[in-house]
Amino acid sequence: MAFINLDARCLYTVLICGLFNCISSFNVEMKVNPPRDFQIIDLGYLGCLYLQWRPPLLLDNFKECSVEYELKYRNLGGERWKTIITTKLYYKDGFDLNKGVEAKVHTLLSECTNGSGFQSSWSEATYRTHLEGNLETKIQDMNCIYYNWQYLLCSWNLSSHVPLDTNYHLFYWYDGLDRATECDKYIIFNGKNIGCKFPYLKSSDYKNFYICVNGSSHSMSIRSSYFIFQLQNIVKPLPPDHLALTVKDSNDIDLKWDVPKGPIPARCFIYEILLSEDNSTWVV
């Protein structure tokens, strides 16, 4: 008798727990549909990608709710997801196209009940550019400097693992250009492109600047390299103008200079002076 009672109570508990689990997961996951047709779209902007989706089909009892989307994305293999909450149906950001991209989005509903909100399961998408050629065929040691906040110059070294007929080409894009544009003034060494002198760049600061250097050869595929930076972070100012040194007596030396010419405001500069009396020890 005692045994039977115990069994029945256990069974009852199991049933209640099972039912409860089912209700709570039904509220959180099942009822709200995820966004539809989630896609990662590459319009050829060398790393600026659009993540876009269509609204979920909503059941009648959610019609009153306010709808938001939580979007998470990262480069493949990256540690941290970037998280965005938006009411829009797209988002755009810059990605490192040397790697793939993964992203997911789900629907968030709020203000439809007095309790907590609802969320859907995730819609997921991944993207990878078609990377041909093996890693050794990439350019080496890319270096870009924005001289005096006026002239952008990039240079690179050739890979030593490519056929003799290989040449490289640089393309760039930033928000404001219609399409990815090829460098029109290469720096050439022994018939090969080893750098680019950019033209005047209009409204190009404080936004992502995207570069792709790809290559071609008749006998093998050459791996493309992608870069993203912001121009104001790679500025190298000119040295001060008109440096003049006046020796008044052995204890009194005047050093004067002018602010370097160009678009950088005088208040942005600080100067460093190196002094030596005997050419062997220098003082800062």
Ligand X SMILES: *[C@@H]1O[C@H](CO)[C@@H](O)[C@H](O)[C@H]1NC(C)=O
The long-range contacts involving 199-207, CB below 8 angstroms and separated by at least 24 positions, are: 200/150, 201/152, 201/174, 201/231, 202/176, 203/176, 204/174, 204/176, 204/231, 205/149, 205/230, 205/231, 205/232, 206/230, 206/232, 207/174, 207/175, 207/176
Region near ligand X per CB under 6 A, out of 35-43, 72-80, 196-204, 209-217? 209-217
Name the residue nearer to ligand X (CB basis): 46 or 125: 46
Among 66, 216, 232, 233, binds ligand X (CB under 6 A): 216
Rounded to a whole number of angstroms, the minimum distance from the CB of residue 268 to ligand X is 35
Q: Is residue 91 involved in binding ligand X (CB under 6 A)?
A: no
Name the residue nearer to ligand X (CB basis): 44 or 199: 44
Q: Is residue 219 involved in binding ligand X (CB under 6 A)?
A: no
Among 166, 208, 214, 225, binds ligand X (CB under 6 A): 214
> How far is residue 83 CA from its own chain's centroid?
14
Give the x/- contact pattern for ligand X in 12-51, rule: CB under 6 A: --------------------------------x-------
> How far is residue 79 CA from its own chain's centroid?
14
Q: Between residue 144 and residue 183, which ones bind ligand X under the rule CB under 6 A? A: 169, 171, 180
Burial class (CB in 10 A: 0-12, 13-18, 19+), 274: exposed
Backbone angles phi, psi at 133, to 5 degrees: 80, 155
Rounded to a whole number of angstroms, the minimum distance from the CB of residue 216 to ligand X is 4
Contact 42, 131 (CB under 8 A): no
Name the residue nearer to ligand X (CB basis): 46 or 71: 46
Rounded to a whole number of angstroms, the minimum distance from the CB of residue 70 to ligand X is 25
Rounded to a whole number of angstroms, the minimum distance from the CB of residue 181 to ligand X is 9
Contact 158, 143 (CB under 8 A): no
Q: How far apart are CA 143 and CA 195, in angstroms?
A: 9
> How far is residue 259 CA from its own chain's centroid?
35
Among 51, 97, 212, 231, binds ligand X (CB under 6 A): 212
Q: Is residue 210 involved in binding ligand X (CB under 6 A)?
A: no
Name the residue nearer to ligand X (CB basis): 107 or 166: 166
Burial class (CB in 10 A: 0-12, 13-18, 19+), 83: exposed
Sites of contact with ligand X (CB under 6 A): 44, 114, 169, 171, 180, 212, 214, 216
